[in-house]
Amino acid sequence: MKRKRTERKSVGNGGGENRIKKLFKDENALKNIKYFSKKATFFTAANLGKVVGVSESTVVRFADFLGYEGYPALQKDLQNRIKNKLSTVNRLKKSINTANSGESILYEVFRNDMKNIQNTMDNISKESFNKLIEEMLNADSVYIVGLRTATSLAYFMGYILHLILRNVTTITFGVSDLFERLININEKDLIIGITFPRYTLQTVEIMEYAKKKGELRVFI
């Protein structure tokens, strides 16, 4: 039987901190699990337990406490986060190499922006755009979700729309209460998700949650 998914928890939360202390009664084990959780990508649950000084079952319960459907799900999420960081580092190195070659990073940024705008113009559908405007005007509530690197875009979009509409909610901060803030959504609402590759996991999960609730969804 498939286990019911629970909300992901942040280790830094006050309530979560107390529950973790109960799970790891040994102070050193508590410190180690927080440190080595960053390296869980490279360890099995059994090996991580040995390194930290707790049982394999405790490691599995820790993953479950964080809201993952087992330790492998935690590993997969960590792997995706590492890939995202590596991609960012590679882009930064490329920019540094370009600067060292004598070409201005500023002009490279301008060229990339021009290319992205042109691609958007070539691929955007006027019908879809007009339909989105109509849906926003007719929706009971409009939710804009943008986490991590998409936070500034979501905030800006929410601010502008709030000047026109009074039913706009922008969700950018606070991992622990994301789903609580969306608990009352229904099929008459519209949710707009903004994210960049590699897509933020929480944003994807929120859009999937909205789909189950029958809410209209738009991905940017």
- pLDDT, tens digit, for every residue of 6-22? 445 444 444 445 554 55
pLDDT 10s digits, 181-202:
777 787 888 888 888 877 777 7
Rounded CA separation 171/97 (Å): 37
Closest CA to 108 of 97, 124, 118, 121: 97
Domain ranges of the chain: 9-123, 126-219
Q: How confident is the model at residue 5 (pLDDT cuts 50, 70, 90)?
A: very low
- The CATH superfamily holding the domain 126-219 is Glucose-6-phosphate isomerase like protein; domain 1 (3.40.50.10490)
Q: Reply yes or no: is the peptide bond before residue 8 cis, omega within 30 of 0.
A: no
Which class for 81: exposed (0-12), middle (13-18), buried (19 or more C-beta within 10 A)? Answer: middle
Handedness of CA 128, 132, 133, 139 (dihedral sign): positive
pLDDT 10s digits, 149-167:
888 888 899 889 888 888 8
State residue 68's pLDDT score. 80
How far is CA 117 from its chain centroid? 25
State residue 72's pLDDT score. 85
pTM: 0.49
* Beta-carbon count within 10 A of 15 CB: 10
Q: How confident is the model at residue 52 (pLDDT cuts 50, 70, 90)?
A: confident
**109: Cβ–Cβ under 8 A, 6 or more apart, which residues?**
none
Q: 44 with 103: CB under 8 angstroms? A: no
Alpha helices in the chain (DSSP H): 14-23, 27-36, 45-52, 56-65, 71-100, 105-123, 126-138, 151-164, 201-212
State residue 140's pLDDT score. 87
Q: What is the DSSP letter of 218?
A: E
Terminal-residue alpha carbon distance, the chain: 35
pLDDT 10s digits, 37-46:
556 677 788 8
